[in-house]
Structure formats: C-alpha cells, structure tokens
Amino acid sequence: MLRQAAVVPAAAALAPRPVAAGRPGLCLTWQRYLTALALAVATFFNGGAARADTSDFATAVNALGQPSGDAVTSAAQTIGASGDARALGLLEALRDGAVIVTDGGEVTLRDASGALHDAVTGAPVAATGHPATLDNEVRRVLDPLIARLELKSPAPDVRLAAVQTLESRSSEDDAPVMRDALASEKVAPVRRALVAALAELDLASNDPQRRLGAIAAIQETGSIRFRSTLQGLVTKQDDGTYSEPDPRVRSGAQSALAALDRKQFMVDGAADVMYGLSTGSILLLSALGLAITFGLMRVINMAHGEMLMIGAYATYETQAFFHAHLPEHESWYLVASVPVALGTCMLVGALLERSVVRFLYGRPLETLLATYGLSLLLIQTVRSIFGPQNVAVENPHWLAGGTEVFEDVVIPYNRMAVVLFTIAVVAFVSYMLRGTSLGLRVRAVTQNRPMAACMGIATRRVDTWTFALGSGVGGLGGVALAQLGNVGPELGQSYIVDSFLVVVLGGVGKLMGCIVAAFSLGILNKVLEPIAGAVLGKIVVLLAVILVIQKRPQGLFAPRGRGAEGT
Amino acid sequence: MTASMPPAPAPPKERRAASVLLEAGGQATLPPLSRRRARPLWEIWAVFGICLVVGVVVPLLNVVPAETSALHLSEFFVSLIGKLTCYGIVAVAMDLAWGYAGILSLCHGLFFALGGYAMGMYLMRAIGTEGNYRSTLPDFMVFLDWKELPWYWHGFEHFGFAALMVVLVPGAIAYLFGFFAFRSRISGVYFSIVTQALTYAAMLLFFRNATGFGGNNGLTDFKRIIGYSLREPSTKAALCAISGLALGLTYLLARAVVGSRAGRVLTAMRDVEAKVRFCGYDPVAYKLFVWTLSAVLCGIAGALYVPQVGIINPSEMQPSNSVEIAIWVAVGGRGTLAGAILGAFLVNGAKSWLTATFPTAWLFVLGGLFVLVTLLLPGGVVDIFAALARARGNVARGIRGAQSKAVAPAPSAAPAGPVGEEPRP
C-alpha cells in the first residue's frame, strides 16, 4: 500500500488530470518529475518505506548534508515516508534551519541552547558547521511532509492544522495518508475536516465512483462551503454541456445540494435565534428598569436612557480606579462595577424623584417633558465632566474571544455573558419585587395607594425607593452595554425609543410581558435584518408593534380584572 | 369599532379616588374652559402685531434703507426671523393638538420635515442643469450613479404639484396613523411614545442613501424658487413676508377651529374623554380632524422653512426636535394660541443667541426650561401676564373691600402635588 503511495506522484506527473492540471501550482517542472522519479526508484530499491530499517533512515539523514537541493528534497521525502519516530522532529528542524551540516559532513541537530547532536543517534557533537541546504524547492516539499507526519500527532489541534495544510495543497498524493488518518480519527472536528478535505480531492478525480462517494460524504457532513462546487456540477455550461459527464453523479449532487440548503436554512435560523437572544437581552436590560418606573409607577421617565449612560460611566470609573490602585486584579473590575453602577444610579434616581418627579405624579405628559429636560441636563453634565468623546471600557480578559457553535457562527463570550447577566438581573428584580418587604410595599402602593397608606406604609418613601430601584436596574443595563459598545454621553438616547416600545408592547406593569416583548423584538429584528436590511428591518418591527397595539391596546400581556380599566 | 366596544364603565367613586394619584389623565392642570376663553382680545392684537412686524416691517427694513443706515436689518436677521416665524406656525399646530385636544404628538418634527422635503424636492428639480455635475438629475443621484429619476420624484418639477404634496403627504400620513391609533384608543403618553417611535423610524429611513432623498446630506444647494434667485435679498425678504402672512392665516384658522363647536368638543374631550363619549360624540373623528389639520400646518411651515434655510436633512426628524416643539408651546403657554407663538419665538430666539455665544450652556438652559416650566409655570409665560392682570384687578377690587379679595383666586404658580387632581383654581 505504501509502495503504491510512493509511486503515485510519478503516475500523477505522467497522467494529466483534467481539473487539477489547470492550477499553476501543480504544473510539474521536469525537475520535479525527476525528483519524483528518483524517489520512486529509491523507495522501490528500499523495498517499501514501511519496512525501511534504521540504516535506510540513517542513509537518508546523511543525504540531507548534500549541497544539492534536489538531493535534500529526495532525502526529506524518504525520511517522511520512513515512518520513523524521529522523522517529524528532524523535518521540522530542517524547516526551521536547525539542521546543521558539520565541516566534517556529519548531519547534526541544533537544540535550543545551540549545542549540536547527531541527527540519528542523538549523541552530542562538538564541531562547527553550516545549515543544511534549504531552497524553495525543499521548502515546498517539506510542508506537506511535515503535515502528513503531524496527522499522527496525539494533539487534536496539531492534527486539525495538518489537515488544513494538506487541504490547501489539495494534492492527490495526500489522499491515502488522509484516508488512513480518517480510519483512526476519533475527534469530531478533525474527522469533519478530514472528510471535507478528502471529498474535495475525490470530487476532482476521474473515477465517477469516487466522485459519488465524495458527494455522499459532503451530504453526510453537510459542509456548506461545498455549495458552489456542487452548484457547478449541476449547472449547464455555456455550450450546453455539463462539466460533470456522469448523470448519476449529477443527480447525487442535486440531492446533496438540497440537503445542504436545508441544513443552511436550519443553521441560519438557529444563528438568528441566538443573535436575537443577544439583542433581546440588551433590549430587556435597557427596558427592565423602565418596566419598574413606567410600568409600575406610571412615571414616563425619558431620562431612563441616561441611567444606562451613568451606569456605563460608573463602569468606566471603576475600571479607572482598578487600573490606578489594584492593577493586579484589573480584570475583575467588572464584578466590582456592578454594585457601583447600581448604587450610583439608585442615588441619582432618588435625587431626581425627590427633586422633580414627585411633584408631577398623575400628570404623565408633564412628566414626559420634565424628565426629557432632566435627560438633557444629565447628558450635558456628563459631557462637561468627561468630555464629549467616547471613553474606552475594555472587556476583561475572561470575556475576550468567542466560541464557534456552528460552522461560521461564532458567539462572542461577552454576548453570552450579557445573556447570563440579563437572566441574573431579571432574577434580582423579580426577587426584589416578590421576595422582599420593599417589593411588597411597592406592589401595595402601586395597586392601592390610599389603602396602603392606611396600613401605615410611608407611600412617599416607597415612591422614592421604587424610582431608585428602577434607575438602579437601568444602571445595571449600563454595565452590560459598556461591554458591548461605545460609552459616550449620548449612549442612552439610542436605547430610549426601543425601551419604551418594549414596555408598551409587553403590557405596562407586567414583568413577564416585558421579557417576552424584548426577546420577540430582538429575534424579529435579527430575522428581518438579512432580508430587509437593518434600517428597513427596524421600520418593519415598528409597524408590527403598532399593529399589535391595534389588536391588543394594553400590550401582549394585558392586565386583567378590576385594575385593568384604570389606565 | 366604537360600536363593537362596550363603553368603558365610569369607575366607581372609590376606585376613582384610589387611582387618581397615578392615573389622572394628565390634563388636570389646565384651567377649565371658561377662563381660557376670556381673553381673546389682547391675544388677537398681540398676534396681529407679530405678524405685522414679520410680514411687513422686517422685510421692508431689509430692502428699503441703505446698507449703511442704522435702520437696515441684515439678511441674517431676516432669515432668522423667517425661521422663527415658521417655528411659530409649528407651535400653533402643536398647540391645536396638544393644548386644545390633549394629543401630545412627538412626530410634529416629522411632518415639518416631510413638508420641507416636498419643497426641497421641487427646489432640487428647479436647479435644472446648473448643479455641480451639469446633469438633469439632482447632484446626489449623479454621485450615487443613478441613471434615472426614481418614480416618486416625478412631478416635483412643477411648483403646484410640490405645493400639493406639501399638504397631502403629511396630511395622509397623519390621517392613516391617527386613524389606527385613535381607533384603538391609544392616547396620552402611549400615543406620544408610538409617535416618537414613528419619527425615529422615519429618520432612520431618510438617513439611507438608497431611500432617494440624499441620505445624510439631505437636499441642499438650491438655486431658485419659481424663477426668483434664492440669493437675492429681495427673495429672502419676500419669503419672510410670506411666512408672516402664513402665520397670521394659521392663527386665524386655529382661532376659528378652537372657537367652533368642534373645538369645544375637543377641549371637553381633552379634559374628560369618557364623559364626552357618553354624550354621544365620536372622539375618533374629532381627534383625527384636529390631528390631521395640525400635521398639514406643520408641513406648510416646513415648506416655508426650507427655502429660507437652504437645506433639509434627516436631522430635522430627530425625536428630540419633536420634543422641543412641545417645550416651545409649554414655555409660551399651552391652551393659548398667542402663547404658543410667543414660546416659539422666545425659545428659538434664546437658542440662536446662546448656541452662538455660550454653546455649552444651551443644553443646560433647554433642560432647565423643561423642568422649571413644567414644575413652576404649567401655564407658561402667558400665565405671568394673566397673573399680573389679575393682581391689578385685585388691587382695584381691594379698594372696595377685603371680602372679594378673599374669594379671588391666588395667582399661584406652585405645582399641584400628586394629590392635586382638581384643576388649579
């Protein structure tokens, strides 16, 4: 079998291959032809590479010391095919220029410290020398040889990289080695890569049976990048013929294409849902505080966006503090910024409530205007403190990067963290409202204020606390937004319209409605984006919201019962 | 629709009391009808004075005296006054909807911009082949490598068609949107929020190059309007005069609407919609009428505004612009037409002055205005005059006896607290 493998290059050189021969990289010069022939002859006389004994290996290693590039090339190929355990290290050393030919003609390896060792026995050698011949021809041969050897490496990463190297070379010579590797491969991503690489080779072969097999393999793995290749097989050329002569292969390609399309659709759908969850969680974070101030208290807080902005700036300040005073824990500033942002925004919220908002209870339109004025004041204040430019909030190292869930669908860690953070904030809010005595008071006051007052609840103080809580939750949203985008004085302005839509759509006063509305808007947005473009998608979403409100004026989750008609 | 929906039962007394704190419709602070209608005379004179100044005096002072004369007004001043007058029309339109009908629309900026765009499209077509690229197409289309005019640009080469569109486009959009919104009884802040979202969406739409209205840069570089060069001072003065005339006509129209039966129904609806509905009036029709009229007026104001400023771009559609319109009306005094005009002149005059002299202070001033006016001066500047007039009356009556003084309403500017469901005296 390996003998055959060694002979193939020669055969390949002689037999023109219809597809591959057109590529310039594979145009065989007569030197390469000679090299291949020499190798074939050499392996023939060696009686098969697999059975090559140590002395053959040693001969080949010694041949590396020759000044001629062709000789080195053929020696490297012999070493690569020998199956010897030392082969990989030796070839890598050759590639890296660490194979030193001593003045006495001995081939040695230079280790990291610069000392020389005999390439075959490993014994130390005290001599001076020059690096082995390493011209472009040698380099070209070395890479696939090393990659083939690396296919047997115990580390999956190395194997995967090796498959990719071989695949990019796309040479028929590698097919048998890859088939061997596939038979023993256990790790799924490497298997997929191997199958894909083999399928690409097989598709280019002359044998219809191999092409059929390749198409079956493509259909099985469902690798989307073969779509255009398959499309080429089943499309008529300009002269009315198919590039693929065999009708069986064409029909196979046709059904494989259909399968790929189905899979693509599923993957796209899943990706849309995931990106939509991410967008939705941002919407939810920005709307959740509003669901308290607007939903529970009926205060139209147009300055809510500025709470997000203040939360983001609090994050920035925490980062600056950690940078200055606790540089060794700098990446944990994010954890510290959560209570900081919550506290800052609660304080600002309480101040606003005490100074302005409380005088406007029961007058929603005036509240709208006054809080809009507050938002302008807050923006301008922040602008005069921090300057009009965006400030830089960096992701801590444990949020950098991402993971590939499907082919070409990468979810960054910070997006995932935002989704988790949103869940935590929702849990926090519902605990505050359902599980604490403050929450009990808040609900009592919003449901029946005079009765709550009769029971001895200080309703004014509860108002302040509720407003502060809503603002604080907005600040938590700001922490998350600071991880995703720019932090500037106008950060909040871009979220306020969407937040209000979410609260109105969800049904005022309903936490669950807010959650459902945020995620459905987020997913709808992401599904529409590729179809209609980002802007038109947004407009369609808006029209959809208006239509939904037509149908259900109280929002998706309308409050029922006696309290329902009050609004 | 209204028939299929059982009329909402009037809340029982005790529930009403319980929900008053959070749910009193927000119109409670406006004085009742009778007082508002008691001072038409000085109002008419004030508006007439403003229109006279804008329509006659300012343009004449620009054109007639020599440039060196002390009486000469600069072109900058003329176009500033013209701009403010257009804002005045918008303020009247806003006051019709908000002050008299209780509809706080946050898309008046959009209607204003739509009217402006319709006029801008005419002005673009009127450039002809004098653009930078010497093409019959507007410059930005050449820049985008478009070969022919999009279908919605056809007809705008005629001034009459453009003028029709100035009225029809905002009117039709307002009618459609209002029909759906009022039919499902979206009112109060919900209406505000949805209209704000509409403005936001429209702004995003107009920012796209592919929409075909010049994208980011909008429409600009106008050359002439119905044959008159826009560079000529006399054209500018004429535009200013026309704006003044339009403001006067708008005021008279608004006055007629407010004084009519429909106007009284609307005002009643603003205060207690449910009761008016029980009396057999259909709120949808009334609201739709005043809302569409208001949008059309905004469109006309936008159309007058664009040739004077020389540019229209999507930033006119920013949601913040629409909120600002509300504050002009609030500062001047909503529920009074003259107050709205006054507010537009005051706020925008202050804006032009402050953004030039103290650029960073402007947002503080504007934000402060929003807060202070709503907290301390819900009736607007007009209320100060009214308070002064009342104080004078009190002094006169005080001579006759202390008894009537005790009954007289205190000119209170203090805000109504959360319990203040009753209209202030």
DSSP notation for A217-248: HHHHHT-GGGHHHHHHHHSB-TTS-BS---HH
A 10 A CB-CB count for B409 gives 12
Cβ(A564)–Cβ(A505) below 8 Å: no
| Host domain of residue A21 | 2-150
Question: Tens digit of pLDDT for each residue in A88-118?
Answer: 777 877 777 778 888 777 778 777 777 777 7
In whole angstroms, what is the distance from residue B315 CA to residue B218 CA? Answer: 9
Distance (Å) from the C-alpha of residue A188 to the closest C-alpha of chain B? 45
Q: How far is CA A170 from CA A138, A165, A166, A436, in A?
A: 18, 9, 6, 66
pLDDT higher than 70, residue B362: yes
Q: Which has the minimum average pLDDT: A164-178, A420-434, A444-458?
A: A164-178
Cβ(A301)–Cβ(A470) below 8 Å: yes
A 10 A CB-CB count for B25 gives 19
Question: Quick check: A361 and B323 CB within 8 A?
Answer: no
Residue A30: the pLDDT is 56
The answer to whether A364 faces chain B, any CB pair under 8 Å, is: yes
Residue A407: the pLDDT is 63
Cβ(B210)–Cβ(B112) below 8 Å: no
Supply B157's token pair.
Answer: 């080469």
Domain membership flag for residue A245: no
Residues A445-470: what's their mean pLDDT? 90
The answer to whether A290 faces chain B, any CB pair under 8 Å, is: no
Residue A132: the pLDDT is 77
A 292-311 residues with CB below 8 A of B? Answer: 297-298, 300, 302
Residue type, B247: L
In whole angstroms, what is the distance from residue B264 CA to residue A44 CA? Answer: 109
A 538-557 residues with CB below 8 A of B? Answer: 538-539, 542, 545-546, 549-551, 553
Residue A294: the pLDDT is 83
Supply A510's token pair.
Answer: 């309903």
Distance (Å) from the C-alpha of residue B61 to the closest C-alpha of chain A? 38
| Per-residue confidence band for A39, with pLDDT thresholds at 50, 70 and 90 | low
Better pLDDT: B364 or A295? B364
Residue type, A294: F
In whole angstroms, what is the distance from residue A63 CA to residue A530 CA? Answer: 59
| Per-residue confidence band for A130, with pLDDT thresholds at 50, 70 and 90 | confident
In whole angstroms, what is the distance from residue A531 CA to residue A533 CA? Answer: 6
Together in a domain, A374 and A523: yes
Residue type, A557: F
What is the tally of structural domains in chain A? 2
pLDDT higher than 70, residue B174: yes
In whole angstroms, what is the distance from residue A322 CA to residue A337 CA? Answer: 10
Domain membership flag for residue A505: yes
pLDDT over 70, % of chain B: 83
Locate tokens 């080949």: which residue? A60
In whole angstroms, what is the distance from residue A270 CA to residue A480 CA? Answer: 24
Measured between beta carbons, which residues in chain A are less than 8 angstroms from residue B8? 565
CB neighbour class for B175 (10 Å; exposed up to 12, middle 13-18, buried from 19): middle
| Residue in A closest to B17 by C-alpha | A450
Comparing CA positions, the residue from A208, A220, A143, A212 lying closest to residue A182 is A220
Q: Which CATH number goes with the domain that contains A469?
A: 1.10.3470
Question: Quick check: B327 and A373 CB within 8 A?
Answer: yes
Supply A380's token pair.
Answer: 């301008």
Locate tokens 């159309």: which residue? B303
| Per-residue confidence band for B297, with pLDDT thresholds at 50, 70 and 90 | very high
Domain membership flag for residue A105: yes
Residue type, B274: A
Strand partners, A454: none
Element (H, E) at A496: helix A493-506
| Per-residue confidence band for B289, with pLDDT thresholds at 50, 70 and 90 | very high
Q: What is the ipTM of this complex?
A: 0.77
Out of A129, A150, A171, a domain closes at A150
Residue A406: the pLDDT is 66
Residue B311: the pLDDT is 92
Residue of A358, A361, A363, A375 to mutate when probing chain B, most B C-beta within 10 A: A363
Rg over CA atoms, chain A: 34
Question: Quick check: B374 and A366 CB within 8 A?
Answer: yes
Question: Quick check: B184 and A550 CB within 8 A?
Answer: yes
Comparing CA positions, the residue from B93, B292, B330, B10 lying closest to residue B173 is B292
First to last CA, chain A: 83
Measured between beta carbons, which residues in chain B are less than 8 angstroms from residue A359? 375, 415, 417-418
pLDDT higher than 60, residue A561: no
In whole angstroms, what is the distance from residue B157 CA to residue B154 CA? Answer: 7
Domain membership flag for residue A167: no
In whole angstroms, what is the distance from residue A320 CA to residue A315 CA? Answer: 9
Residue B39: the pLDDT is 53
Together in a domain, A419 and A561: yes
HEC readout, chain B:
CCCCCCCCCCCCHHHHHHHHHHHCCCCCCCCCHHHHCCCHHHHHHHHHHHHHHHHHHHHHHHHCCCCCCCCCCCHHHHHHHHHHHHHHHHHHHHHHHHHHCCCCCCCHHHHHHHHHHHHHHHHHHHCCCCCCCCCCCCHHHHHCCCCCCCHHHCCCCCHHHHHHHHHHHHHHHHHHHHHHHHHCCCCHHHHHHHHHHHHHHHHHHHHCCCCCCCHHHCEECCCEECCEECCCHHHHHHHHHHHHHHHHHHHHHHHHHHHCHHHHHHHHHHHCHHHHHHCCCCHHHHHHHHHHHHHHHHHHHHHHHHHHHCEECHHHHCHHHHHHHHHHHHHHCCCCHHHHHHHHHHHHHHHHHHHHHCCCHHHHHHHHHHHHHHHHCCCCHHHHHHHHHHHHHHHHHHHHCHHHHHHCCCCCCCCCCCCCCCCCC
3-state secondary structure of A509: coil
Supply A75's token pair.
Answer: 């020696």
Residues A28-34: what's their mean pLDDT? 54
Whole-prediction pTM: 0.71
Together in a domain, A396 and A540: yes
Q: Which residues of B317-343 are buried (b: 16+ CB within 10 A; e: fewer)?
A: bbbbbbbbbbbbbbbbbbbbbbbbbbb
Residue B83: the pLDDT is 92
pLDDT higher than 60, residue B35: no
Residue B257: the pLDDT is 93
First to last CA, chain B: 38
Dihedral of the CA atoms B357, B361, B367, B370 (nearest 10)? -40
Element (H, E) at A107: strand A107-110
Distance (Å) from the C-alpha of residue B60 to the closest C-alpha of chain A? 39
Out of A131, A150, A169, a domain closes at A150
Residue B404: the pLDDT is 42
**Maximum average pLDDT range among A1-5, A547-551, B406-410:** A547-551
3-state secondary structure of A127: coil
Distance (Å) from the C-alpha of residue B270 to the closest C-alpha of chain A? 12
For residue B189, give the nearest of A300, A449, A549 by CB distance.
Answer: A300
In whole angstroms, what is the distance from residue B296 CA to residue B112 CA? Answer: 9
Cβ within 8 Å of residue B29, ≥6 positions away = A363, A366, B378, B416, B420, B423, B424
Better pLDDT: A343 or A295? A343
Residue of B320, B323, B370 to mutate when probing chain A, most A C-beta within 10 A: B370
The answer to whether A566 faces chain B, any CB pair under 8 Å, is: yes
In whole angstroms, what is the distance from residue A468 CA to residue A353 CA? Answer: 8
Out of A93, A117, A150, a domain closes at A150
Furthest-apart CA pair in chain B: how many Å? 83
Across chain A, how many H-helices and E-strands are there?
22, 7
Q: Is B188 left (phi over 0), alpha (psi -120 to 50) or beta?
A: left
pLDDT higher than 70, residue A352: yes
Question: Quick check: B371 and A373 CB within 8 A?
Answer: yes
